[in-house]
């Protein structure tokens, strides 16, 4: 197992929700990372952010680990959920609410409803 792989496993096992992103949740460095972090922040989800720009090995490692070519990548309870497009779709369809609820992840349902209203 590579260093990146064990680092990723450690990250996704110690936090219920982990976002591998370009930049940080306070300062995203790409539009897609910003969108997913924005959704999580707005919904009041507690999550760990991992800046892949700070570590080239991790940046490639997460793509290999999930077999997904793009960043950001969201993990919930150790499971890969998806990237920006998937998270956006799941937010708008309500699937993300369900996923969080089923996994005991606290989020603001009213905020989630507001996102759907604004994009409906």
Task: Report how far residue 110's alpha carbon sits from residue 3's, in angstroms, rounded to the nearest whole number.
Answer: 40
Q: What is the pLDDT of residue 1?
A: 57
pLDDT value at position 24? 97
pLDDT beneath 70, residues of the chain:
1
Residue 48, SS3 per DSSP: strand
Global pTM? 0.95
Q: Which residue has the tokens 């309500």?
A: 94
Q: Return the structure tokens found at 30.
A: 């790409």
Q: What is the DSSP letter of 94?
A: T
Q: Which domains does the chain have, with CATH numbers?
A: 3-119 (3.40.30.10)
- What digits encode the pLDDT tens for the residues 17-50? 999 999 999 999 999 999 999 999 999 999 999 9
DSSP state of 28: B
How far is the C-alpha of 26 from the C-alpha of 19, rounded, in Å?
13
Extended beta strands in the chain, E state: 17-21, 48-51, 73-76, 79-82
Q: 29 Cβ partners below 8 Å, 6+ apart?
A: 22, 23, 53
């Amino acid at each position: 197992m590579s260093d990146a792989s064990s680092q990723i496993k450690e990250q996704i096992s110690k936090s219920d929700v982990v976002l591998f992103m370009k930049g940080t949740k306070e300062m995203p460095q790409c539009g897609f990372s910003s969108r997913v972090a924005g959704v999580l922040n707005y919904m009041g989800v507690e999550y760990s952010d991992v800046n892949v720009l700070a570590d080239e090995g991790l940046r490639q490692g997460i793509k290999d680990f999930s077999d997904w070519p793009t960043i950001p990548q969201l993990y919930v309870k150790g499971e890969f959920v998806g990237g920006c497009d998937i998270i956006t779709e799941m937010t708008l369809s309500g699937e993300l609410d369900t996923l969080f609820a089923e996994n005991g992840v606290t989020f603001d349902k009213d905020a989630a409803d507001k996102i759907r209203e604004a994009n409906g």
